[in-house]
Structure 1
Amino acid sequence: MRSGVSRRTFLASAAAGAGALAGLLPRPLRAQDKTVKIGFLAPLTGPVAAWGKPGLDGCQIWAEWINAGGGINIGGEPHRVEFVAYDDEDDPAKARTGATQLIRENDVKFVMMLGGNSWPGVQPVAERTGMLFSTLLPSDLSPSTATLIAPAEVHPIYNVTAVDWLAANRPELKTAVICAQDDALGLPSVATYLAAFEAAGIEMLDEPLLFDPATTDFAPVVTRMLSKKPQIVCLDTCYSDYVHPICEQLFQQGFKGQILSCTLDFYDQVIAKTSAEFMEGTLFQFPDFDDPALNADFINFQKPNEFFAEYNRRHPGQWGAVSWEYASVMDLWKAAVEKAGSAEPDAVKAAMTEGGEGLHAFGKARWWGKDLFGIDNALVGNWPVVAIEGGKARIKEFRSIPDWYDKHGELMKKHMAAYNQMWDQRG
């Protein structure tokens, strides 16, 4: 890693919440029971391992708890679940090899991916085999791959919700600047924030500052942004390796305005390096799961507070933005398998998307995306707006992504097209 801040725990115990499902099949598994295998194709080594290895660790917890509760009921027969991992090192060629091996040699029924840089290598395999894949990046979606789904993470379109909330609750804030790393996560997020700012009537004081992902000195980045005297500084979908030093520089250079970020992983470390007063009111998109707002009846993540406690018991101080997401994906997959009575990819996808709706972690959602991604394979609904209050992340409100898009979809498409991020522009 390039700094003392590690992204290695972003996905660490994402599957731990599946423990809440234990007990649905109370009969203990026996040695003769069958096994269903899930492929885990992600970077397990290298600079992007933080987006893979911790996710695998979390999935192993999910499997442990599901198996302890009786496994997965497939056509009336209990099956234990087993994850088979392949390290793609965030490289498309290695990802293609891994996908082929998982399908041909390991007979997996579903493949979970980080997506992004690795997806172009896997896409031909998905098209040829019809295997069901999931991605954390809906920007991977296109009409050419009907078996790729985004059932949990809806990056970057949920970023509109925080800007929308800001416009309603702090209308005096009228100017903004934005920075981002120049990569597959940064660019579509920049386009999304630009659309959201335009819809909110917030003026951009400068073109987005796109920095090289190899950047380690963020003093010049912050100096340039603050030279415009913005009321809002937006950190886009910067990795925590960038968010932390940028926040430190904002503090050291005397910024007094509103900070807006997609993620704010390990925010306690940021507070320790700046101050609680400085970080007060910072907005982002990912809650701690001990938040009381997650106990509402419409939440479809079972026992989130207990999940958060168990995660922190096993991995203290390492909760991150996507710690819950792999658990959510697997919960949806398990429910679809048991509904279909089959683990075959086509049957599972049909069961999962039947009726055009699904149970997202944050409430009922619809399978959506044709207008933006060319296919309705993203599960989109409400998303939380989160603020730092008294040194702790707290959900301020759940806002509807589809409602925003119904009003401002043309703005989103305009800015996505300007950054070559529409599905028909991506090669």
Structure 2
Amino acid sequence: MTKFQINRRDFLSTTAAATVMAGVSMPKLAFAADKVVKIGFLAPLTGAVAAWGKPGLDGCKIWADWVNADGGIKIGDDVYKVEFVAYDDEYDPSNARTGAVKLIKEDDVKFIMMLGGDPWPGAAPVAEKENMLVSTLLPSDLSPETKMLVAPCEVHPIYNVTGVEWLAENKPDLKTAVICAQDDSLGKPSVATYLAAFEAAGIEVLGDPIFFDPATTDFAPIMSKMLALKPDIICLDTCYADYVHPLTEQAFQQGFKGQMISCTADFYQKMVEKTSKEFMEGFIFQFPDFDDPKLNEPHVNFNKPNEFYAEYVKRFGEGEWGAVSWEYASIMDLWSDAAQRADSTDPEKVLEAMKVGGTGKQAFGEADWWGKELFGIDNALVGLWPVVVIKDGKAKIQDFKSIPAWWDKHKDLLIKHMEALDQMYYQRS
């Protein structure tokens, strides 16, 4: 095991992310029922990206317990209990391919949920051959060829425009920014999105975005290079949790006094502890705690968000809530609703029911099946997204901003920056 791997796993173990052996399937969440529908969970459960997999599986455990306690899902004349079968892809395409084969051939799952990104090309040929419905949290995986791949919850990276839009409206005196990101399939499209969002807001990006090797462990030089440009805003893009934490700590240690913005701030309480409430005050990101009272507004479709958060904290600890803790559960709401309307668990029939009418109940409101201009296919469910700011050490939703409204004004900017980084669907191999 390399030093890099040890550091990543050591960090994630503090976030309850590294709890399974790498490269093996997880135990099933089994139920005593005559009829069971199995759902595949193919995501990183260990390693550097586990913070965007393991908490989501934990959320699915709560979702399954609630649904099964209510008697299960009625599909046609039958009632099914739900069983999740998980496989750790370690954010690796070869593992994702192996996992997809196992979940489909051995476990007979009817739907597979993935984080997406680098592992998707490994699973894609298997899913296509077997005509399996798959969800991703990264719409940048979508292309005209991915007919059975959907992004029904998270619309990374385009939702990042909402944070910048809110920032420009509420802090118009901030005029310059710097950006850094890991050099991978998560970082690049997100950098393109932030570049477009800053340009639309009239905020100058100083220098070129800094792309660092994902094996980086010393973040002091990166922060020093960013601070040397004397920016008003530091943007941490869609950096992984174990990059956001040391980068934020370095900004604090090196005396930065300006604005910070990031796609995520998973386990932000630990950043507050290692810096200060004063330093983290005003930190902008895109993922709320679900005890937020704004999630009780009528347009929100997530089932009992405050109760879900309370149950999550009870089971796993308050500091373990992260960006994906609710997302896979939200996708399951859409899947179960579609399966019931289709009177079937057949992947093609469920997909047809899911997309009927061209709209769907995304977690934060009614949304459109969208994406043809950006992704080549209308398989992303896009609508409102929250802007979250840390206030007195606690994440608070400030507003729900419309992604389609921003796109209608600035789509040419986003396409321009996506093309510059070779991130448009017609540029990807």
Q: Using the alignment, how far apart are the partners of 1:53 and 1:389 within structure 2?
A: 27
Does the 8 Å CA contact 1:11/1:320 hold for their aligned counterparts?
A: no
Aligned residues: 411
Q: Using the alignment, how far apart are the partners of 2:407 and 2:373 within structure 1?
A: 10
Q: Using the alignment, how far apart are the partners of 1:91 and 1:8 within structure 2?
A: 22
Shift of 1:70: 0.4
Shift of 1:6: 2.4
**Structure-1-length-normalised TM-score:** 0.92
Shift of 1:203: 0.5
Letter of the 2:279 counterpart = F
Task: Find the counterpart in structure 1 of residue 22 from structure 2.
Answer: none
Letter of the 1:232 counterpart = I
Q: Which runs of 5+ in 2 are unaligned?
A: 1-5, 19-30
Q: Using the alignment, how far apart are the partners of 1:255 and 1:32 within structure 2?
A: 57
Q: CA deviation digits over 1:358-388, x for unaligned, max 9? A: 0011011000110000000000000001111
Task: Find the counterpart in structure 2 of residue 204 from structure 1.
Answer: 205
**Structure-2-length-normalised TM-score:** 0.92
Does the 8 Å CA contact 1:288/1:394 hold for their aligned counterparts?
A: yes
SS in structure 1 at match of 2:404: helix
SS in structure 1 at match of 2:398: strand
Shift of 1:52: 3.0
SS in structure 2 at match of 1:117: coil
SS in structure 1 at match of 2:59: helix
Q: CA deviation digits over 1:3-42, x for unaligned, max 9? A: 6642875889xxxxxxxxxxxxxxxxx9663111111222
Alignment of 1:360-399 (within 5 A): 360-399=362-401
Alignment of 1:81-92 (within 5 A): 81-92=82-93
Q: Using the alignment, how far apart are the partners of 2:392 and 2:90 within structure 1?
A: 39
Return 289-298 or 45-54, whichever deviates more. 45-54
Cα distance, 1:389–1:412 mapped onto 2, change above 3 Å: same
Does the 8 Å CA contact 2:33/2:80 hold for their aligned counterparts?
A: no
RMSD of equivalent CA atoms: 1.8
Q: Percent of pairs identical after alignment?
A: 68
Task: Find the counterpart in structure 2 of residue 400 from structure 1.
Answer: 402
Does the 8 Å CA contact 1:8/1:49 hold for their aligned counterparts?
A: no
Shift of 1:391: 1.2
Shift of 1:272: 1.3
Task: Find the counterpart in structure 2 of residue 42 from structure 1.
Answer: 43
Task: Find the counterpart in structure 2 of residue 277 from structure 1.
Answer: 278
Task: Find the counterpart in structure 1 of residue 3 from structure 2.
Answer: none
Task: Find the counterpart in structure 1 of residue 25 from structure 2.
Answer: none
SS in structure 2 at match of 1:300: coil
Task: Find the counterpart in structure 1 of residue 420 from structure 2.
Answer: 418
SS in structure 2 at match of 1:245: helix
Does the 8 Å CA contact 1:205/1:228 hold for their aligned counterparts?
A: yes
Letter of the 1:399 counterpart = K
Letter of the 2:193 counterpart = T
Shift of 1:253: 1.3
Task: Find the counterpart in structure 1 of residue 149 from structure 2.
Answer: 148
Task: Find the counterpart in structure 2 of residue 22 from structure 1.
Answer: none
Cα distance, 1:385–1:7 mapped onto 2, change above 3 Å: farther
Shift of 1:246: 1.1
Cα distance, 1:399–1:204 mapped onto 2, change above 3 Å: same
SS in structure 1 at match of 2:7: coil
Shift of 1:425: 1.0
Task: Find the counterpart in structure 2 of residue 6 from structure 1.
Answer: 12
Within the candidate set 347, 350, 355, 2:349 is matched to 347
Letter of the 1:426 counterpart = R
Letter of the 2:113 counterpart = M
Q: CA deviation digits over 1:220-254, x for unaligned, max 9? A: 11111111110011010111211111111111111
Relative CO higher for 1 or 2, CA cutoff 8 Å, sep ≥ 6?
Answer: 1
Q: Using the alignment, how far apart are the partners of 1:215 and 1:373 within structure 2?
A: 30
Cα distance, 1:32–1:229 mapped onto 2, change above 3 Å: closer
Cα distance, 1:143–1:8 mapped onto 2, change above 3 Å: farther
Q: Using the alignment, how far apart are the partners of 1:148 and 1:174 within structure 2?
A: 39
Letter of the 1:233 counterpart = I
Letter of the 1:270 counterpart = M
Letter of the 1:143 counterpart = P
Q: Using the alignment, how far apart are the partners of 2:137 and 2:14 within structure 1?
A: 16
Letter of the 1:210 counterpart = F
SS in structure 1 at match of 2:355: helix
SS in structure 2 at match of 1:272: helix
